[in-house]
Structure 1
């Protein structure tokens, strides 16, 4: 546009039309707005390739400032300041962008200016070529649906279209586009629908296109007729009838289809679909054979109009059914264990058959035992093990039973002869969930003769958690040429296992045990349970129970006992083998102690037991301790004797004391001492008679001479006179002195015959018989000799002295040697006649006082 000045414009009021004036006014206003905006903006931002770039591109971003900005220029990338920009000239800086990977905002800022300027860069890809364009007609009169793959994500707004062109005979219609829509289940899939008209012979050409700001793409053209793309709807599987080895599938609503195809798979799993050859003709059913008994299957079907027309329909929804049972096809895998009980009972184990092997629901197991001694026995069980009593030799047969019959027999002979075992059995971790067990062949392996049990026909590896052989026994059979195996199944981490490798012969077996293997282990979670220790002198026996299975977390290799005294000082640590359940600690000094225990695996020690156990070691038996103990014991014995004697002495009368003493020391029938052998000899011989007196059985040794008693007797006439009146003149009192060391001397003394007490004394009995005192019968008394008297001590004499003795009783009154030599215990002085009586003996204790 060229503007002219006023001098050049034509004169007059009609020089410019109204439209021309409005154009000039709008132009001036626009220029003023641009000038104003440039004057207000402190800077501008731009890119070397524009604001829409291809992902991965490299370019420059420029920031141009007004001259007033000076040196205070900065650039930000997504609001983060960058220092990588470079000066371009005095008013412009730039930034090199390499391999851009996303949409980015670049901001230019001049210090002191509140308003920045910026540039938004959008990134993306141009669309890929649409691929795999397909079209189908749903039913003979339905719409046509076409699908294609659009390619990679463009990260930009992209438009997809389906273009359709129909050819009717020799005329061609124009192309019509239909917008495509994406699939939610498959983001890369695009589809479009269109209606058709005309005959089935009409030809169609279709193609797909995609476009965005960075470019566009068009697919190849697909040409077809409706006969090519018509697809019948899926049939309905109405019924599935099965027998043990196959099923027949019946379909409905085939819509005049001439071809039928069926596929099946196992319902448990599920496994892959297996298609069977299609059938042609009037489609109604199809038979499927070669199936497994007692197995549930799923079935699907699809149809096609004919070989020349249409495509296969979609698969119908699945319908399932189960084939019928057959007798089990495989013999059981049987093994056994022997317990350590007194009767050595045998437990049979067998593995459960798989569904394919069982061919039905196993109802139970039949066990037949042929014992060479006990004969034949038979039983059934529903579990996979059974206990059998020990036998000298048993041939055992086991069957699995279902509704159609029994499995082939599994034969086991127990016990088998012992043979050469495998050599050098080793276990090592294969992974955190598996273990490798290897061995070497027995030294006689492969030898068919000379061994007595033939060659090795195979190997068996058994394993189980420690202590749970019967409950969790597992085993694996291997061929005769295999010398290692990897155990992956039925083995868990954090558990300790043991087991054995068996070399199997025809009629023998060789066993090599292994123990303490595991996959992955850790530190035990708890320690053992400690019982209260048993203390015996300076020894203490500590007992404990093993760590529970769930807390061991591997194989326990040892236990440790920690002991400390009451002051908290460690006394010692004692390590015990894992097989031990008690340990004796010796030589501990007397003190109070407490102990803890831990269990250890190869990974480390468990925490200590939650509560410590306390025990006390008493002082040791030294000579001083023994002396003190003997002294205390002697004092207690002396006090006990003193107490008993005191009780005896305090009896109400001397008669009762004497009777009690006689009851304890003399038999029921007490003989008269005057009729004893030594008394008669004394009567024949005048002079002194020495008596051997043993005071105590324990007080006289074999080497010492016994104490003697010297007796001086009166003339023979006065001694042996039988008349009491005659004995009065010649009566003597024996006043003796007894010395504690050697002798007792009895001294006869003269007693007047006129003493009434004396007469009364000898008229009564000398000492009353204990048997009579205790109420014995007269027969007992009559059976005594004629020389025996009824009483030895006069009752009235004893009674007359009882009061005096009780009056003078003191603490030392019961001793035989009081300070007063005329103690009541030694009195009375009694006169006697011809017979020597004990109560005539008076013991003088004055010598004890010297």
Structure 2
């Protein structure tokens, strides 16, 4: 709104004044101020005079008002006859640019005149004026300055002035607005003549001049980077290098100048530790420079830069290397030792590490190290020789110390004595922690117990993803130190194993070890979740350990998130060591989803999502049901079998008939005493063995009935059963009844086997003591009379069945016996044969 009103005022002022001037008519009013540019915040006074010819005031009273921008200002009228003069005073003008207008009170207000007022600050004197000569083609002199900190708010113009005294020449150069530098052409200055240079700053309020500088353009020249030709050792001068160099081709014509030279040296192997700046004054270009007091046999990288008088330094040249003369190594080595093996059997394995101490100088590029049991190293006592920084060897018997020496082409160092310290079962280190110190180092802190008191500590570190023992580093501290900043080539997101060992007078104690990272970030991977088992409303999830090279930090937590179809999310933290989690209180039926988040100190990573649900009958429930059913069925079967075996005789009678077993008859248990009467030999002769047949008759099923179709009945005359007949035999001692339930067996006794060549002896039929019933037979027969054979001169008829009127006479030959008449013995029919 203000800018719009200001534009309108400017247009009105231009129209009123301009129109009148074009027609030759005087303007309505004239506005005068003390100055159109004033210091910011200073007072401003303005006067407005309305002319008599102004048509706006002819024939009427005049009332003048003032406006600053779009704001009315109080004014005071100057006493005169017409009242057409007015004055306004602004106590503090705080605008950098604004219009002040004079108006006549009317409807609307009419602008009759105005003026623009600008406010600001006077310029500061330019600061830090400097000039630099460019010696390359084209040769120029460039000067620059600082305009100051304060903004003037007014247009400020700068001019550069030069005065060459030898030529009596003065030059002024106008600088474009907003630019604070200017380049003087080669024709306006002389390289080897002094000149005065200064800068002026001017605006509507004031003018300021910088402090002049006097210089010779050559002394303000910045040379191009020089070139190193070669760096070589000085013959017969240890620790010295000769450096040959030249200027660039654009400044090669300035070979007569005396320049200042600066050399930067650093060792090729340990750039970050050794760096030297060697100033060389008043040297002519292309003249070699000797650099001495350097390490012997050491390779250096050299760079140089030059300047003339007070000119700026040139940029550093490219690097060139050189090696000083070799000499024998000097100083001692710091060492660290690990002992393993069996001290009782004197079989100790030694892992010896070493590094140069602050006083050690290898004095050569090719240094080897020898470990020996002798102070003067030789082939006889040498344990190992290597170009590295560690050695592994078996300690000889009775050896208490070894010697470590450095060797190069120029000689060997004094041996460093290494005492063999056995490990001690002492734990004095506790609360070890490692935190990053900066981008290249780690801070190790620990606590030590009071007893036993150690003599010092050893801090050891190595990368865990590499197995090369040469990467093992160590640092030795005193007993009062409990922290150490270790610096090395630590890589971010890589694990390092850091151990702190206590040292004692006679050994090394047990260490405390932690893993550390210089920087950490989220792991590269998340392990895949596996379902191990489910039971009831629970499920067990497991996963594999993340490989060490994929962790990117120390694992802080495994967190499993899971939810069902309702969307309620739950989270469970898992144990870091077990790598398992059990999700509880799950509902059967709905589908669940889960994923795992693995976190380190540097970030977290989410894994893939798995799906699972809980069945109404899970594996555990089914196993329990099957197990219970199996146990019940087994008990039932055992009960049934126990019951059956305890009543097997009763069951056997129901399912199988009672069939006697002749092989288990009591005839097989007869003793020799029961058959002594059958011996046919005389008393003077040795008794002959008795041979018994194995034919037995089975038990009778029961007492035979007296029906007509009974198999055991021969005629109607004899109504008694066979069992009764046998029971009634007079050969059965003690028999007192006619009705018995079992029939004795008849057994045939032989005096010799059938194939015997001896005289035949009559067969003897003996009574069996068995009480088992006889077998049934389908063949119908009548009982016959059986005769006992004569024994020892006794010949007497005995009737086993029925009367004896059918008995065969005794004189009948044995061969004439009709076996058909003996149905019970028919199966025992044997024909005696004579051996040919």
Q: TM-score, normalised by structure 2?
A: 0.51
1:216 to 207, 213, 219: 207
- 2:826 is paired with a residue whose SS is coil
Pair 1:833-2:819 in alignment? no
Alignment-derived partner of residue 176 in structure 1? 170
- 1:545 is paired with a residue whose SS is coil
Alignment-derived partner of residue 73 in structure 2? 88
Structure-2 change in CA distance of 1:494 and 1:321 (3 Å)? closer
Q: CA deviation at 1:395?
A: 5.2
Cα distance in structure 2, aligned partners of 1:634 and 1:61: 131
Where does 1:692-703 land on structure 2 (aligned, <5 Å)? none
Alignment-derived partner of residue 427 in structure 1? 433
Structure-2 change in CA distance of 1:138 and 1:539 (3 Å)? closer
Residues 85 and 96 of structure 1 are in contact (CA less than 8 Å); yes or no, is this contact kept in structure 2? no
Cα distance in structure 2, aligned partners of 1:721 and 1:204: 164
Residues 242 and 291 of structure 2 are in contact (CA less than 8 Å); yes or no, is this contact kept in structure 1? yes
Pair 1:152-2:148 in alignment? yes
Q: CA deviation at 1:475?
A: 3.1
Residues 295 and 355 of structure 1 are in contact (CA less than 8 Å); yes or no, is this contact kept in structure 2? no
Q: CA deviation at 1:501?
A: 2.1
Cα distance in structure 2, aligned partners of 1:228 and 1:684: 152
Alignment-derived partner of residue 161 in structure 2? 162
Pair 1:247-2:241 in alignment? yes
Cα distance in structure 2, aligned partners of 1:231 and 1:278: 17
Where does 1:333-412 land on structure 2 (aligned, <5 Å)? 333-335=334-336, 348-350=352-354, 360-362=364-366, 378-379=383-384, 384=389, 388=393, 412=418
Deviations 1:575-624 (A, max 9, x none): 4352x467999999999999976656579986456546999434215543
Residues 556 and 601 of structure 2 are in contact (CA less than 8 Å); yes or no, is this contact kept in structure 1? yes
Structure-2 change in CA distance of 1:410 and 1:559 (3 Å)? farther
Q: CA deviation at 1:627?
A: 3.2
Alignment-derived partner of residue 125 in structure 2? 128
2:279 to 275, 278, 295: 275
- 1:295 is paired with a residue whose SS is strand
Structure-2 change in CA distance of 1:366 and 1:588 (3 Å)? farther
Alignment-derived partner of residue 719 in structure 2? none
Q: CA deviation at 1:216?
A: 2.6
Greater helix content:
1
Cα distance in structure 2, aligned partners of 1:593 and 1:438: 47
- Larger Rg computed on CA atoms: 2
Residues 561 and 595 of structure 2 are in contact (CA less than 8 Å); yes or no, is this contact kept in structure 1? yes
Residues 95 and 118 of structure 2 are in contact (CA less than 8 Å); yes or no, is this contact kept in structure 1? no
Structure-2 change in CA distance of 1:35 and 1:581 (3 Å)? same
Residues 436 and 517 of structure 2 are in contact (CA less than 8 Å); yes or no, is this contact kept in structure 1? no
Residues 699 and 772 of structure 2 are in contact (CA less than 8 Å); yes or no, is this contact kept in structure 1? no
- 1:555 is paired with a residue whose SS is coil
Pair 1:443-2:451 in alignment? yes
Alignment-derived partner of residue 299 in structure 1? 304
- 1:276 is paired with a residue whose SS is strand
Deviations 1:168-226 (A, max 9, x none): 9xxxx6x63242779x9x955775766689xx9x99776554444443334566789x8
Q: CA deviation at 1:324?
A: 2.7
Pair 1:289-2:295 in alignment? no
Where does 1:275-674 land on structure 2 (aligned, <5 Å)? 275-278=279-282, 284-292=287-295, 293-300=298-305, 318=317, 320-324=320-324, 326=326, 333-335=334-336, 348-350=352-354, 360-362=364-366, 378-379=383-384, 384=389, 388=393, 412-413=418-419, 416-418=422-424, 420-427=426-433, 429=435, 434-440=442-448, 442-445=450-453, 456=455, 458-463=456-461, 473-487=472-486, 489=488, 499-515=498-514, 526-529=525-528, 533=532, 544-556=543-555, 575-578=574-577, 580=578, 607=606, 610-611=609-610, 616-617=619-620, 618-620=622-624, 622-628=627-633
Residues 538 and 587 of structure 1 are in contact (CA less than 8 Å); yes or no, is this contact kept in structure 2? yes
- 1:619 is paired with a residue whose SS is helix
Alignment-derived partner of residue 22 in structure 2? 33
Cα distance in structure 1, aligned partners of 2:773 and 2:597: 81
Cα distance in structure 2, aligned partners of 1:608 and 1:459: 43
Q: CA deviation at 1:626?
A: 2.4
Cα distance in structure 1, aligned partners of 2:404 and 2:306: 44
Residues 363 and 402 of structure 1 are in contact (CA less than 8 Å); yes or no, is this contact kept in structure 2? yes
- 2:623 is paired with a residue whose SS is coil
- 2:451 is paired with a residue whose SS is coil
Q: CA deviation at 1:298?
A: 1.9
Cα distance in structure 2, aligned partners of 1:537 and 1:329: 77
Residues 259 and 283 of structure 1 are in contact (CA less than 8 Å); yes or no, is this contact kept in structure 2? no
Cα distance in structure 1, aligned partners of 2:31 and 2:265: 67
Residues 720 and 834 of structure 1 are in contact (CA less than 8 Å); yes or no, is this contact kept in structure 2? no
Residues 129 and 213 of structure 2 are in contact (CA less than 8 Å); yes or no, is this contact kept in structure 1? no
Q: CA deviation at 1:275?
A: 1.0
Deviations 1:692-721 (A, max 9, x none): xxxxxxxxxxxxxxxxxx974565679999
Alignment-derived partner of residue 786 in structure 1? none
Deviations 1:444-465 (A, max 9, x none): 43xxxxxxxxx71x32123456
Residues 125 and 210 of structure 2 are in contact (CA less than 8 Å); yes or no, is this contact kept in structure 1? no
Q: CA deviation at 1:288?
A: 2.5
Structure 2: gaps (5+ residues):
1-16, 49-54, 57-66, 76-85, 247-251, 375-379, 641-662, 676-691, 701-740, 755-764, 766-770, 783-822, 831-836
Alignment-derived partner of residue 775 in structure 2? 747
Structure 1: gaps (5+ residues):
1-27, 68-74, 77-83, 305-310, 446-454, 636-670, 692-709, 724-730, 732-742, 755-829, 838-850
